[in-house]
Amino acid sequence: MTVLVEANALKKTFGPITAVKGISLEVKKGEVLGFLGPNGAGKSTTMKMLSGFLEPDSGSARICGHVVQDEPKLAKASLGYLPEGAPAYGEMTPRSFLTFIGEIRGFDSDEIKRRISAASSKAGLDHVLEQRIETLSKGYKRRVGIAQAILHDPPVLILDEPTDGLDPNQKFHVRKLIADMAADKAIIISTHILEEVEAVCSRAIVIAKGEVVADGTAEDLMKRLDYHGAVVIKVANDKSEAVKAALSGLKGITKVEVLGKDNGMTRLRAMPKNGATIATDVAAALAAKSLAVDELFVERGKLDDVFRQITVAAKDSTHA
């Protein structure tokens, strides 16, 4: 697969603050990269450098093979960019605004009309095309920004918080739009909504303090949790000791811990050794002892926990 976006050791300082300490990444055609990180981690700064708005202090960015600093027009022509907060000219209507963007992108007036109707129906803007942008709700303003970014059907899309401020239906709609376009584009979205990563991203990069601290699929990231792949079992209180004893003997299990008790039931969690797959063994061991359980499931983990684990660790290491 062709690499469409490439960042090579991007670095940016603002006065005494180092916002980005050297970020490298690659996004291939067909990939949707989720860009995660706490506020102030350098997500937006990195995206601004990729889009050519900010000049990096060192390092370089390429869009479709064009070095952004050396061939800015070619790079920007292949890029659709939604800046943070989806800024747009408030006194214009979405139609006049998109017409302006279309003219800058070099389309003639028939082509612009065609593209506006395509982009506005994709972004769900049809009903508000003739209203001044400043009178639109936050959700619609965001959609104007998205329509602007996809107007020229670019091979690369960089969207800074595309679903921020949208209601759940609108979020669903935008995610679907991104997923529909994913096949023939390279897309980067920044977000701090972690469910979004599982919903639309084929890969995620977590940055903290201006550095990449994790890179992989949502599944890869969750493997970093110590309880990833653990088996949770719910049994009646009087059987909990027997279950504990039956499982403790299994190899592949480091320990069995009690998570909690309620309504006469106990929840136990068996932790796997080195990410081993233990569900089958657990089920077999319980069946052998004829121990009936109410519930048995494998923990995948929560991305929120991964996020906290990774970013807090990064914070501690820089303070050390």
Q: Is position 228 an interface residue for other proteins (rule: CB under 8 A)? A: no
Residue selected from 34, 83, 210, 272 as contacting other proteins according to rule CB under 8 A? 83
Identify the sign of the CA torsion 253, 256, 259, 261: positive
Instruction: Name the one range near other proteins by CB under 8 A: 78-86, 113-121, 227-235, 298-306.
Output: 78-86
Q: Is position 11 an interface residue for other proteins (rule: CB under 8 A)? A: no
Q: Is position 105 an interface residue for other proteins (rule: CB under 8 A)? A: yes
Instruction: Name the one range near other proteins by CB under 8 A: 100-108, 170-178, 228-236, 291-299.
Output: 100-108
Q: Is position 87 an interface residue for other proteins (rule: CB under 8 A)? A: yes
Residue selected from 46, 148, 163, 311 as contacting other proteins according to rule CB under 8 A? 148
Minimum CB separation of residue 89 from other proteins in Å reads 6
Minimum CB separation of residue 51 from other proteins in Å reads 5
- Show Cβ contacts of residue 76 under 8 Å, excluding neighbours closer than 6 positions: 51, 52, 63, 68
Nearer to other proteins, 103 or 220 (CB): 103
Nearest CA-CA partner of 309 in 232, 229, 227: 227
Residue selected from 23, 31, 62, 81 as contacting other proteins according to rule CB under 8 A? 81
Q: Is position 89 an interface residue for other proteins (rule: CB under 8 A)? A: yes
Instruction: Name the one range near other proteins by CB under 8 A: 95-103, 187-195, 262-270, 288-296.
Output: 95-103
Q: Is position 303 an interface residue for other proteins (rule: CB under 8 A)? A: no
Residue selected from 100, 179, 227, 279 as contacting other proteins according to rule CB under 8 A? 100
Give the C-alpha separation, 164 to 177, whole Å: 15
Q: How many whole angstroms from its chain centre is CA 10?
A: 20
Minimum CB separation of residue 123 from other proteins in Å reads 16
Residue selected from 7, 10, 27, 101 as contacting other proteins according to rule CB under 8 A? 101
Minimum CB separation of residue 167 from other proteins in Å reads 23
Task: Please tell me the number of Cα atoms within 13 Å of 152 on its side-chain side.
Answer: 21
Nearer to other proteins, 104 or 245 (CB): 104
The Cα-based distances of 264 to 63, 123, 203, 236, 294 in angstroms read 60, 51, 42, 6, 12
Give the C-alpha separation, 133 to 89, whole Å: 7
Count residues near other proteins (CB under 8 A): 28
Give the C-alpha separation, 75 to 55, whole Å: 14
Q: Is position 84 an interface residue for other proteins (rule: CB under 8 A)? A: yes
Give the C-alpha separation, 58 to 53, whole Å: 15
Residue selected from 54, 174, 199, 286 as contacting other proteins according to rule CB under 8 A? 54
DSSP state letters, 222-249: HTTSTTTT-EEEEEEGGGHHHHHHHHHT
Give the C-alpha separation, 41 to 317, whole Å: 15
Q: Is position 65 an interface residue for other proteins (rule: CB under 8 A)? A: no
Write down the H helix ranges in the chain. 43-50, 72-77, 94-104, 109-123, 138-150, 168-181, 194-200, 218-222, 240-248, 279-288, 303-319
End-to-end CA distance of the chain: 41
Minimum CB separation of residue 93 from other proteins in Å reads 10
Minimum CB separation of residue 27 from other proteins in Å reads 17
DSSP state letters, 210-226: TEEEEEE-HHHHHTTST
Q: Point out which residues bind other proteins (CB under 8 A).
A: 48, 51-54, 72-74, 76-77, 79, 81, 83-85, 87-92, 96, 100-101, 103-105, 148
